[in-house]
A and B are shown apart, each in its own frame.
Chain A
Amino acid sequence: GAVVSQHPSRVICKSGTSVKIECRSLDFQATTMFWYRQFPKKSLMLMATSNEGSKATYEQGVEKDKFLINHASLTLSTLTVTSAHPEDSSFYICSAGDPGAVLNYGYTFGSGTRLTVV
């Protein structure tokens, strides 16, 4: 079945530094990847839609200069949290799908990245 690998699973960084999170589709080509942020009270917030070869589409209220998304190939999307601050600490999850995925199985999710900014 479709597998999405997300790396790293945990990262601790100092305030002011940048952190890159990778999302890879291992056995399929993902033309679309999504980045979510999960808050402590569990709700999932869609941050942006990442389309291969084009600019990401950000949801309202998400700072595109803060959360840089690059989808340079059909198997890799990256989320870079720039100049991280403690309030950016969260659980970030990616998901990926091929064309028509939403009609078949939804999307496949990565295992998430726990970011802690100290």
Chain B
Amino acid sequence: AQSVAQPEDQVNVAEGNPLTVKCTYSVSGNPYLFWYVQYPNRGLQFLLKYITGDNLVKGSYGFEAEFNKSQTSFHLKKPSALVSDSALYFCALGGGATNKLIFGTGTLLAVQP
């Protein structure tokens, strides 16, 4: 069965410092992996995806993620955090016969000024 895990409920980081939000997955075939961000009382916004190709994927707002097949991980990163990056981040796994997206439990990122 496919699954995706975000082991951290919350990540705290000071503005200007690098940030990492972790995601691991389990899938029998090739994974389609996504990161989304959610601001309060809003829907989800697409940040970036990995389907195939380079393991380092660059996305919106300066975010990037590294696909690591051996560790089955797809951690989200940003070299220098902004206060405005504070939001809820979801990792998602897609594909398969139903084309459903399976979401992790979300990680709240709090960037302190």
Contacts and interface: CB of A to CB of B under 8 A. Distances in A.
Interface of A: 4, 6, 9, 32, 34, 42-44, 46, 49, 57, 91, 93, 95, 97, 101-112, 114
Contact of A44 (B51, B90, B108): B90
B49 A34 contact: no
A42 B108 contact: yes
19 contacts: A6-B43, A34-B101, A42-B106, A42-B108, A43-B103, A44-B103, A46-B100, A46-B102, A49-B100, A93-B44, A102-B95, A102-B99, A103-B32, A104-B51, A106-B94, A106-B101, A109-B36, A109-B43, A111-B43
Contacts of B95: 102-103
A51 B99 CA distance: 12
B19 interface: no
Given A34-B100, A44-B103, A103 B43 contact: no
Contact of B94 (A49, A57, A102, A108): A102
B88 interface: yes
Interface string B86-107: 0010101011001111110110
B71 interface: no
B23 to A, nearest CB: 14
Closest 8 CB pairs of A and B: A109-B43, A109-B44, A102-B94, A106-B34, A111-B43, A42-B106, A44-B103, A43-B105
Contacts of A9: 41
Contact of A32 (B32, B34, B90, B99): B99
Contacts of A104: 49, 51
Nearest to B51: A103
Contacts of A97: 99
B101 A112 contact: no
A21 to B, nearest CB: 12
B105 A106 contact: no
B101 A95 contact: yes
A109 to B, nearest CB: 4
A32 B92 CA distance: 17
Contact of B41 (A4, A91, A109, A110): A91
Contact of A106 (B36, B41, B108): B36
